[in-house]
Amino acid sequence: MQQIIIHVDMDAFFASVEMRDDPALRGKPLIIGSLPHERGVVATCSYEARKFGVHSAMNIKEAYRRCPHGIYMHPDFYKYKAVSDQLHEIWNTYASASQTIALDEAYLDVTETAKDWEGARRIAQTIKQRTWDELGLTCSVGLAYSKTAAKTASEEKKPNGYFEIPTAADFVSLIIDRDVRVLYTVGAKTSEKLHASGIHTVRDIQSHSENVIRLCGRHGRWLVQLAYGQDDRKVTPYRPEDAKSIGREVTFQQDVSDFAVLRDTLILLAFCVEHRAKRVGLQGKGVTLKLTYADMKQITRSHLIPQTDSAVTIYQETAKLLEKTAQRPVRLIGAGLYQLTGEAEERQLSFDDLLRDELSSEEDARRQLLSELQERYGLDFAGNLEKIYHYEILHKTVEYMRKHRRRPAEPAGQ
Q: Is 325 within the bounds of a domain? A: yes
pLDDT of residue 341: 82
If pLDDT is split at 50, 70 and 90, which confidence band does 327 have? very high
Position 69 in a domain: yes
Rounded Cα gap, residues 145 and 184, in angstroms = 15
Burial class (CB in 10 A: 0-12, 13-18, 19+), 98: buried
Q: At residue 412, does pLDDT exceed 50?
A: no
Same domain membership, residue 232 and residue 132: no
**CA 233 to chain centroid:** 23
pLDDT at res. 118 = 97
Confirm whether 414 is domain-assigned. no
Q: What is the CATH number of the domain that holds 357?
A: 3.30.1490.100
For residue 202, give its domain range.
167-238
Is 345 one of the catalytic residues?
A: no
At 343, the pLDDT band (50, 70, 90 cuts) reads: low
**30 in Cβ contact with 46 (< 8 Å):** yes
Asked whether residue 411 is domain-assigned, the answer is no
Q: Beta strand 139-144 with 162-165: parallel, antiparallel or unpaired?
A: parallel
Q: Is residue 241 within 8 Å of 341, Cβ to Cβ?
A: yes
**H helices of 228-334, where?**
259-280, 311-323
- Residues 70 and 122 occupy one common structural domain: yes
Q: What's the CATH number where 233 sits? A: 1.10.150.20
Pair (310, 185) in one structural domain: no
**Domain-embedded: residue 97:** yes
- Neighbouring CB atoms inside 10 A of 101's CB total 14
The count of structural domains within the chain is 3
Boundary of a domain, candidates 238, 266, 299: 238
- Give the number of residues written for the chain: 414
Same domain, 293 and 392: yes
Give the neighbor-by-neighbor strand order of the sheet with 5-10. Answer: 97-102, 105-109, 5-10, 139-144, 162-165
Scored b (16 or more CB within 10 A) or e, 326-336 reads: eeeebbbbbbb
For residues 228 and 305, membership in a common domain is answered with no
Q: What is the DSSP string of 272-298?
A: HHHHHHHHHT-EEEEEEEEEEETT--E
| 318 and 395 together in one domain | yes
Q: Tell whether 107 is covered by a domain.
A: yes
Within 10 Å of residue 142's Cβ, how many Cβ atoms? Answer: 27
Which of 104-108, 332-336, 377-381 is predicted least confidently? Answer: 377-381
The rounded distance, in Å, linking the Cα atoms of 353 and 331 is 40
Nearest-10 crossing angle of helices 358-377, 391-404: 60
Mean predicted lDDT score pLDDT of the chain: 90
* CA–CA dist 203, 183 (Å, integer): 12
Q: pLDDT value at position 162? A: 98
Judgement on whether residues 30 and 147 belong to the same structural domain of the protein: yes
Q: From the candidates 18, 105, 274, 317, which is the catalytic residue?
A: 105
Same domain for 123 and 192, yes or no, is no
Do residue 97 and residue 32 come from a single domain? yes
Whether the ω angle into residue 237 lies within 30 degrees of 0, i.e. cis, is: no
177 and 187 belong to one structural domain: yes
Final residue of a structural domain among 196, 220, 238 = 238
* Cβ-proximal residues to 205 (8 Å cutoff; 6+ apart), any chain: 180, 183, 194, 199, 212, 223, 224, 227
Final residue belonging to a domain, choices 166, 199, 218: 166
How far, in Å, CA of 392 to CA of 140, rounded?
A: 29
- What is the spatial distance between Cα 104 and Cα 158, in angstroms, rounded to a whole number? 14
CATH code of the domain covering residue 133:
3.30.70.270
Which pTM value belongs to this model?
0.76
Q: Is residue 413 assigned to a domain?
A: no
* Structural contact between residues 287 and 318, judged by C-beta atoms closer than 8 angstroms: yes
State whether 266 and 400 are in the same domain.
yes
Residues 383 and 265 in one domain: yes
pLDDT above 70: residue 241: no
Inside any domain, residue 89: yes
